């Protein structure tokens, strides 16, 4: 998922991108024909920000037999080439800031706040790329990325965005009726919602239940979501109780979409971090963005105290 905010003056780069799209589109059409033994070669022309033209030759060895799976694979490879070409153009431009962000943080925190950044720094065009949580964080063609973990990624300069706390959250509807959530023991009448991403996200429920004095409690049923964002949305819709993180449920709590039914919070060893490739840390656009984002969340924390 990529979101673009364009400013005037990009005609030259857009022309390059359009040329690449036309050429690749023609190649896609040729791949779709059942021509046995055809090997696809693509030559992409691009100009970098310094105005130096060069040629990138990308050879995709796809033997087309006319069967759909091969065509789909070739189309996918061509799409990757196009994305890489556009990234190569934008990477060298000082007025384009590319931000990698985890989907839940992007939707809940980053995008709602970007209007303020754009008002303060209108000269920058923004590119927001969705990245997946990983133990090993790579630059991924981003000037800066927002990651979740321990902050111990080699080759990256990191800044903790905020200290995290974890606690159950649910819809206001779940504190009403015969099986209303009044005490932690009432959780046995409700569905637990878990995100199924164990590589990064540990299951905080056992620790929380222990802190609540009910370590052996069993929930009525379980709902598994592949990602964190759907688990929050499921809780908003009243489907059960999920474990919230203070940074990403802040607005939902303030708006009343979610509530915190109990007063027990646990500090988390994991947190959201700004991760910056060392080679890009001194770029003006990166320094301005980091200063803004850290200040934005610092002000939110002070306002919430």
pLDDT digits (tens, 9 = 90+) for 287-303: 999 999 999 999 887 55
Measured CA distances, 242 to 131, 215, 226, 245, 268 (Å): 23, 17, 13, 10, 16
Q: Is residue 46 part of a domain?
A: yes
Q: How far apart are CA 137 and CA 276, in angstroms?
A: 10
Same-domain check for residues 261 and 295: no
Estimate the share of the chain in helix, then strand, then coil, as percent rounded to the nearest 5. 40, 25, 35
Domain range enclosing 248: 165-267
Residue with more model confidence, 30 or 214: 214
Counted domains in the chain: 3
Same-domain check for residues 259 and 190: yes
Same-domain check for residues 255 and 274: no
Same-domain check for residues 157 and 172: no
Same-domain check for residues 260 and 187: yes
Same-domain check for residues 282 and 239: no
Same-domain check for residues 240 and 292: no
Q: Please choose, from the candidates 80, 239, 211, the residue with its C-alpha nearest in 3D space to the C-alpha of residue 88.
A: 80
| pLDDT cut 90: percent of the chain above it | 53
Same-domain check for residues 171 and 232: yes
Predicted confidence at residue 132, as pLDDT, reads: 81
Same-domain check for residues 261 and 283: no
pLDDT digits (tens, 9 = 90+) for 149-188: 899 888 899 999 998 999 999 999 999 988 999 999 999 9
Predicted confidence at residue 181, as pLDDT, reads: 96
Same-domain check for residues 59 and 46: yes
Same-domain check for residues 263 and 173: yes
Q: Is residue 1 part of a domain?
A: no
pLDDT digits (tens, 9 = 90+) for 187-229: 999 999 998 765 556 789 999 999 999 999 999 999 999 888 9
pTM: 0.70
When pLDDT is cut at 50, 70 and 90, the band that residue 79 belongs to is: low
Q: Is residue 3 part of a domain?
A: no
Last residue of some domain: 91, 114, 131? 91
Last residue of some domain: 70, 91, 112? 91
The mean pLDDT value of the chain amounts to: 78
Which CATH number belongs to the domain containing residue 133 in this structure?
A: 3.40.190.10
Same-domain check for residues 39 and 159: no
Q: Is residue 4 part of a domain?
A: no
Q: Where are the extended beta strands (E) located within the chain?
A: 2-5, 38-47, 53-64, 96-101, 125-130, 144-149, 156-160, 165-169, 191-195, 221-225, 241-245, 266-267, 271-277
């Amino acid at each position: 998922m990529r979101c673009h905010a364009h400013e005037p003056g990009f005609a030259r780069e857009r022309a390059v991108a359009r040329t690449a799209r036309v050429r690749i589109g023609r190649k896609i059409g040729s791949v779709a024909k059942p021509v046995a033994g055809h090997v696809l070669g693509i030559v992409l022309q691009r100009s970098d920000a310094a105005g130096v033209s060069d040629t990138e030759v990308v050879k995709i060895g796809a033997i087309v037999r006319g069967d759909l799976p091969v065509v789909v694979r070739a189309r996918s490879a061509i799409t990757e080439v196009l994305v890489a070409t556009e990234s190569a153009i934008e990477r060298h431009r000082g007025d384009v800031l590319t931000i990698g962000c985890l989907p839940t943080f992007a939707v809940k925190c980053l995008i709602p706040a970007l209007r303020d950044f754009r008002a303060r720094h209108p000269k920058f065009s923004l590119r927001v790329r969705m990245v997946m949580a990983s133990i090993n964080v790579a630059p991924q063609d981003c000037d800066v990325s927002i990651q979740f973990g321990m902050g111990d990624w080699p080759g990256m300069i990191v800044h903790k965005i905020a200290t995290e706390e974890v606690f159950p959250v649910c819809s206001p509807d779940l504190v009403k009726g015969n099986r209303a959530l009044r005490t932690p023991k009432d959780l046995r009448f409700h569905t637990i919602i878990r995100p199924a991403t164990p590589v990064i996200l540990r299951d905080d429920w056992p620790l929380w239940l222990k802190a609540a004095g009910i370590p052996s409690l069993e929930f009525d049923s379980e709902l598994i979501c592949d990602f964190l964002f759907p688990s929050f949305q499921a809780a908003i819709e009243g489907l059960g109780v999920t474990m919230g993180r203070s940074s990403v449920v802040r607005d939902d709590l303030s708006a009343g979409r979610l509530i915190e039914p109990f007063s027990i919070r646990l500090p988390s060893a994991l947190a959201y971090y700004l991760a910056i490739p060392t080679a890009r840390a001194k770029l003006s656009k990166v320094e301005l963005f980091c200063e803004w984002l850290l200040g934005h969340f610092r002000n939110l924390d002070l306002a919430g105290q």
